Amino acid sequence: MRRFVGIAALFSISATSAVARSPAPNQRAVFEPVVRAVAQSLQVDPDMAAAIVSQESAWRPTIVSPKGATGLMQLMPSLAAHYQMHNINDPVENIIVGLYHFKYLMGRYKNYELALAAYNAGEPAVDRYGGIPPYRETMNYVQHIMSRAVGSTPPTATQNEMGSNSLPAEHVPAVTPYNADTALDLSSINGSDTHIAGL
C-alpha cells in the first residue's frame, strides 16, 4: 500500500505560515525548488513537473477546483485516498503524490502527451480513445504543458495514437512499487539530511 505519513513534520518550508495566511497566492518562488527536487528524486523531468504545476494550480497551494481537486497538483480526493495521503492540503505531500502519480502514468504510457492526458482526463478516457481524448480542455492542457516544458508543437492526430511520439527509453522513468523502506532525499532543498519516507 502507498502511504505518505508525516511529510510536513519531516520537511519544513520557512514560508509555510505565510501560505496559510493567504487565500491562494502564487507561491512559485517557495515551491518550485521543491517541485524540481522531488521530480529529480523520482526521475521525472523537472521542467515537465514545473509546467504541470503551472497549468494545474498556477502555483497556488490552497486552491480547490469546483470538482474538488486540491492543491498545487490538483489532486482529487479519490486519488488521495488511493495513495493513502495523510493530508491532501499539505503542499509538499501534494507535490510528492502528484509527481509520483505522474511517474506512474509515464511508466504506463511511455509518452508525455498520453501521460498528461491521463493526468487530466483519467486513464479510462485515454484507454477508451486510444490516445488523447477529444476533449477541448484535455487537448489544451496537453498543448500548454508541452509548450512550456519542451517547446514542442501541439500534438497532431498521428501523435495522438498510442505508441507514437514515444520517449527514448532513457527518458522514461521506471515505476518502482511503493516500499516503506525507501525514502525521497530532499536534502538539496533545506541543506540537511532530510529524507521523506514513503517513496
56 is catalytic: yes
What pLDDT is attached to residue 69?
96
3-state helix, strand, coil in the chain (%, to 5): 55, 5, 40
Distance in angstroms (rounded) separating the CA atoms of residues 7 and 180: 13
Domain that holds residue 44: 7-110+167-197
Range with the poorest average pLDDT among 23-27, 41-45, 101-105: 23-27
Looking at residues 157-162, what average pLDDT do you find?
A: 40
The residue type found at 119 is: Y
DSSP letters, 106-132, are HHHH-SHHHHHHHHHH-HHHHHHHTSS
Looking at residues 30-59, what average pLDDT do you find?
A: 96
Distance in angstroms (rounded) separating the CA atoms of residues 106 and 92: 21
The residue count for the chain = 199
Q: What is the pLDDT of residues 1-20, one digit of tens each?
A: 344 433 333 344 433 333 33
Q: Which helix (H) or strand (E) holds 39?
A: helix 28-42
What dihedral do alpha carbons 197, 98, 79, 127 form, nearest 10°?
-130
Q: Which of 56, 113, 137, 161 is catalytic?
A: 56
Residues 115/105, Cβ–Cβ less than 8 Å: yes
Domain total in the chain: 1
